[in-house]
Amino acid sequence: MRWNCGVATLVWVFGAAAAVLKPMRQHMFGDVAAAEMHALDMPNAWDAEALFPANIHRAATQALESWITAQDAFSRKHIINNFASSSDGNGDARAGAICASPSRKHPDYYYAWTRDSALVVLEVIAWLDNNKLDYMLKDELKQRLDDYVEFTRHLQGLKNLKYGLGEAKFHMDGTAFRAPWCNAQTDGPALRARAILAYAQYVIKQANGDTTRAHELFSLVRTDLDYVTKVWMHPGNCDIWEESRGMHFYTLLVQKTALEEGARMAHTLDVDNGVAHVYERAAQEIAHKLPEFWD
């Protein structure tokens, strides 16, 4: 019995890990790169259905699916709650700010990290494509996304930031975090560009091809991607874990994906001044750099 419970737990863990990692990779790196990485998750020798008895696998799968359904609703609720809104009456947070955690001590994570916020927005945008989503909830989510866009505009306009757009986090009221931190973290602007690009694509689809709003959004994207083209090759940027400096495979891959998506949107919107070419060239240069991470 103990062995059976242990095996069921293993099946649950493998399934949960796959369920969590696959969408996370899609948000960070795009569908193609994520598919390549997901293919490496579990060799055939670790195929759950082949490895475990059918009754154990079936019971574990049912338990996992039940947990995922409950956890999905719980997580979505708390993700939305982490958006500051103009209707919240929260005087210490600017509308559109997304806290990494509501915890303010032990640990204090009540800040708006550029990276974390962008990943949350990419997830929320994916919800909007769900035709079963209540219209009132969709309207609420779109308002939260519009608030995020304006919060981004505010952050991009802040002056006298030591690391510019590479600042990793901000106070929830939209003011700069001035204490010592591992900066610059240049994956943040790339991920934020991807988030706003995803919203622009959604807006175009909903507007039956009208690109007026998408052009407004792309102006924010350009600010972030123009920055990325200038800093991606710097060897002293901070890594995602905020512990070491150098050139990081993850950061470069995120930047390459953002530049490629930005170039495609530039073509879609028929943006002038060779913007798409600049982004495409930078993405190609990063692509040539990536093989250096393999021995």
Cα-to-chain-centroid distance, residue 177: 21
Select from 189, 186, 163 the least CA-distant residue to 176.
Answer: 163
Select from 12, 8, 133, 7 the least CA-distant residue to 71.
Answer: 12
Say whether 239 is catalytic. yes
Largest CA distance in the chain: 68
- Which residue has tokens 């989510």? 141
Choosing from 146, 150, 226, 239, the catalytic residue is: 239
Report DSSP letters for 257-282, one per residue: HHHHHHHHHHHHHT-STTHHHHHHHH
Q: What are phi and psi of 238, to 5 degrees?
A: -85, 150
Say whether 261 is catalytic. no
* CA distance linking residue 209 with residue 175, whole number of Å: 36
* CA distance linking residue 162 with residue 166, whole number of Å: 9
Cα-to-chain-centroid distance, residue 239: 16
Choosing from 41, 72, 139, 242, the catalytic residue is: 242
Cα-to-chain-centroid distance, residue 38: 17
154 Cβ contact partners less than 8 Å away, ≥ 6 residues apart? 94, 96, 174
Q: Give the residue numbers marked as catalytic.
A: 239, 242
